[in-house]
Amino acid sequence: MSHKTLTEKIFESHINREPRIGEVVVVDVDFAMGQDGTSPLAIQKFYDMGGKKVLRPDRIALVIDHGAPSPTEGFANLHKLMRDFSYEQGIRLFDIGSGVCHQLIPESGFAGPYDIVVGADSHTCTYGAVGAFSTGIGSSELAAVMISGKLWFKIPPAIRVILSGKIPSGVYSKDIVLYLAKTLTADGATYKALEFDGDVIDQLSMDARFTVSNMAVEVGAKAGIFPVDEKTKVWLREHGRDNMCDLSIDPLANYESTVEIDVSKLEPQIALPHRVDNVMSISEIGDIPIQEGYIGTCTNGRLEDMEIATSILDGKKIHPRVRLIVACASKSIYLEAMKKGLIEKLVEAGATVIPPGCGPCVGTHAGVPSDGENVISTANRNFKGRMGNNKAFIYLSSPATVAASCLTGKITDPRRFL
Amino acid sequence: MILHGFAHKLGDDINTDYIISGKYKFNTLDMKELARHIFEDIEPNFIDKIKPGDIIVAGRNFGCGSSREQAPLVIKNAGLSAVVASSFARIFYRNAINNGLPLVECDTSRIQDGDELEIDLENGVVRDLTGGFEMGINPLPPFMMKLLQDGGLVEHFKKYGGFSIG
Ligand code: SF4
């Protein structure tokens, strides 16, 4: 059988024979990552399992991003455990201020085409944007990879997602992926891989593709993989990778199903509380006042996102009853945004810029909403309690919609400001 | 392995944030302490309502959301013996098996809150003793059954020094 899904092609390159969908294989993992919510338990499990030395320290990175800088004593002690372990084992540690794991791993050249990458964080699927099969695992599994360099996988069937048409002005990759979440629902792709195809891909920057792959797990998918094109290769070269092979969709491959989305008529989309697939077009939702806006996270904390938000906020002031929090996804994005004058403009407009990291996204610190408040955020999850208060309401959108909403104090169509 | 306990019924799409909120899980590795806050955001004082051996019964997509392994660990440490759901999210599924928490996939619509249940994992049957009916369950793939029988991934690694297949 010569027609293969991207997933099959990637697994084939690791097992050196024809893969069968549904079979369980144990493969060498190219890179593994843990963050500060999952690594401390992985370190404990590493020793429980009898681990002494990490097999391939050059293939592991730990990231302190979920509570960075440490908000509590508990966090601080777990961070120390990670710092000590990294130092002893000679593995790369991204300490506070470095950024969010899912930006740092691809940005550092640790993920690329045909790689199998795992991370003890569900949004590890983000690196599908650069043609990797990357997926979230648990802490015990991270420990198993540290000891053996390997992990077991059940080779998943794939869904071909064809994105076609021309992306309208004011509509972004976040709107496309929110619409996809609505179409597939929160468990529509459980145990499966999403593979993206269609002429929209050419219109998406690498930053925009990361946003789409990032949210694959929100429909239950194991991975969300883009083909590798010239744009991918240029980006990867800029980020320290040079051994690149082509990876393209074969329409004759055995796709379990195909979903086609014509984006030409798409409006900005909003996910309403408390479900990521509870999505509506902006023209349908009516007046919803907001008290907090958040631009950042591994979904939309990249340079392009900062540029889009700044283009709307530049020279204006946010609504007096609104707080806007901004966090770049990594230190290098933060520096770039400073050099370009974006940070200055955002602060002038009334934004509070916090260090690169997760913070408000996961409710650990720096932006917990109060009871009954509405937040509009560029994150990927709006579960009840997600931002640290189960009596608050989280709406998800593109950075443009967050910026526009912060100006008016209610959820607002960004096309008004373009 | 036959499990016996009372059903605590929850809905569809129970995510790992609901199982244990991020605001607690990052602060400690003490699972007993974390277990006190199990399901707190959706049902306050849930921990006071359960007895050892009780069974979580849920709808579709149980365990969706983050990859936190604390989720199955907290369920185990709260004294719950298994989760029965119509379907599971994949990372939770792996994490549960890796920690020796039995998961049972079957149609849960007829099971009522408080029903007395018996789960026979070997023979693949769930019996609702209160409702007076039984259901066959989807079997685990052999490799996962082995992990579960070994008591999870840690025990599996201790026994074999690595993965015993492949
Ligand atoms: S930014 Fe949010 S979703 Fe992304 S890794 Fe951090 S906590 Fe998770």
Chain B hits for A147, Cβ within 8 Å: 157, 162
Q: A303 and A173 in one domain? A: no
State whether residue A284 is helix, strand or coil. Answer: helix
CA distance B22 to A364: 7
Q: What is the pLDDT of residue A218?
A: 96
Last residue of a domain, one of A88, A121, A154: A154
In a domain, A2, yes or no: no
CATH number, domain with residue A373? 3.30.499.10
State whether residue B91 is helix, strand or coil. Answer: helix
Which of these, B27, B72, B29, B80, lies nearest to B51 by C-alpha position?
B80
In a domain, B9, yes or no: yes
Q: A375 and A350 in one domain? A: yes
CA distance A137 to A223: 12
Which residues make Cβ contacts (< 8 Å) with residue A182, sequence separation at least 6?
A269, A277, A278, A279
Strands (E), A104-255: 116-120, 133-136, 150-154, 158-164, 193-197, 223-225
Residue A160 β-bridge partners: A195, A258
Q: Check: CB of residue A258 under 8 Å from CB of residue A160.
A: yes
Chain A: closest CA distance from residue B29 (Å): 7
In a domain, B165, yes or no: no
CA distance B47 to B129: 24
CA triplet B41, B114, B121: central angle to 5 degrees? 95
In a domain, A18, yes or no: yes
Q: A147 and A21 in one domain? A: yes
Q: Check: CB of residue A299 under 8 Å from CB of residue A178.
A: no
Domain that holds residue B63: 2-160
CA distance A295 to A354: 10
B163 touches chain A (CB under 8 A): yes
CA distance A300 to A329: 8
Q: What is the pLDDT of residue B21?
A: 85
Q: What is the pLDDT of residue B148?
A: 85
Q: A376 and A247 in one domain? A: no
Count other C-beta atoms under 10 Å from residue A330's C-beta: 26
B100 touches chain A (CB under 8 A): no
In the DSSP assignment, the letter for residue A396 is: E
Query: At A284, phi and psi to the nearest 5?
Result: -95, -10
Q: A302 and A184 in one domain? A: no
CATH number, domain with residue A162? 3.40.1060.10
Residue B141 clears pLDDT 80, i.e. is over it: no
Asked whether the beta carbons of residue A50 and residue B157 sit closer than 8 angstroms, the reply is: yes
Q: A61 and A186 in one domain? A: no
Which of these, A98, A55, A66, A155, lies nearest to A358 by C-alpha position?
A66
Q: Check: CB of residue A304 under 8 Å from CB of residue A203.
A: no
B contact residues 5-64, partner A, Cβ 8 Å cutoff: 13, 15, 17-18, 21-23, 25-29, 41-42, 60-61, 64
Which of these, A33, A253, A63, lies nearest to A135 by C-alpha position?
A33
Q: Check: CB of residue A290 under 8 Å from CB of residue A323.
A: no
A362 touches chain B (CB under 8 A): yes
DSSP, residue by residue, A298-367: HHH-SHHHHHHHHHHHTT----TT-EEEE--SBHHHHHHHHHTTHHHHHHHHTEEE--SS-GGGGTSSS-
A-chain residue closest to B17, CA distance: A386
Q: Percentages helix, strand, coil for chain B, rounded to the nearest 5?
A: 30, 20, 50
Please give the model's pTM, rounded to 2 decimal places: 0.94
Q: Which of A123, A214, A299 for mutating ligand 1's site (highest number of atoms within 8 Å of CB)?
A: A123
Measured between CB atoms, which of B65, B68, B90 is closest to A38?
B68
CA distance B133 to A42: 41
Domain that holds residue A186: 158-265
pLDDT band at B149 (very low <50, low <70, confident <90, very high): confident
B-chain residue closest to A23, CA distance: B141
In a domain, A94, yes or no: yes
Q: Which amino acid is at A104?
A: L
Query: What ipTM does this complex have?
Result: 0.90
Q: Check: CB of residue B95 under 8 Å from CB of residue A150.
A: no
| A244 sits in which H/E element | none
Q: A117 and A37 in one domain? A: yes
DSSP, residue by residue, A56-90: -GGGEEEE--TTSS--SHHHHHHHHHHHHHHHHHT
In a domain, A59, yes or no: yes
A contact residues 79-108, partner B, Cβ 8 Å cutoff: none
Positions in chain A short of pLDDT 70:
1
Query: At B55, phi and psi to the nearest 5?
Result: -125, 135
In a domain, B11, yes or no: yes
CATH number, domain with residue B81? 3.20.19.10
Count other C-beta atoms under 10 Å from residue A25's C-beta: 18
Count other C-beta atoms under 10 Å from residue A299's C-beta: 31
Q: Which amino acid is at B85?
A: A
Q: What is the pLDDT of residue A244?
A: 79
Q: Check: CB of residue B56 under 8 Å from CB of residue A25.
A: no
More confident residue, B166 or A411: A411
In the DSSP assignment, the letter for residue A234 is: H
Which residues make Cβ contacts (< 8 Å) with residue A375, sequence separation at least 6?
A290, A291, A292, A293, A294, A369, A387, A392, A393, A394, A395
Q: What is the pLDDT of residue A245?
A: 86
Q: What is the pLDDT of residue A1?
A: 56
Q: Check: CB of residue B153 under 8 Å from CB of residue B147.
A: yes
Q: Check: CB of residue A322 under 8 Å from CB of residue A293.
A: yes
Residue B166 clears pLDDT 70, i.e. is over it: no
Chain B hits for A217, Cβ within 8 Å: 91
Q: A302 and A224 in one domain? A: no
Helices and strands: H and E segment counts in chain A: 14, 18
In a domain, A1, yes or no: no
Q: A291 and A217 in one domain? A: no
| B14 sits in which H/E element | none
Tell me how many domains chain B contains: 1
Q: A30 and A125 in one domain? A: yes
Tell me how many domains chain A contains: 3
Measured between CB atoms, which of A122, A147, A384 is closest to B66?
A122
Q: Is the CB of A402 under 6 A from ligand 1?
A: no
Q: What is the pLDDT of residue B122?
A: 79
Q: A322 and A402 in one domain? A: yes
Q: A291 and A258 in one domain? A: no
Last residue of a domain, one of A127, A154, A181: A154
Chain B hits for A139, Cβ within 8 Å: 69
State whether residue A130 is helix, strand or coil. Answer: helix
- Each residue of B64-114: pLDDT tens digit? 988 889 999 999 999 999 999 999 998 999 999 999 999 999 999 999 999
Last residue of a domain, one of A154, A172, A198: A154
Q: What is the pLDDT of residue B23?
A: 74
Asked whether the beta carbons of residue A140 and residue B161 sit closer than 8 angstroms, the reply is: no
Asked whether the beta carbons of residue B23 and residue A147 sit closer than 8 angstroms, the reply is: no
Q: Which of A96, A107, A333, A358 for mutating ligand 1's site (highest number of atoms within 8 Å of CB)?
A: A358
Count other C-beta atoms under 10 Å from residue A69's C-beta: 16
Q: Check: CB of residue A297 under 8 Å from CB of residue A327.
A: yes
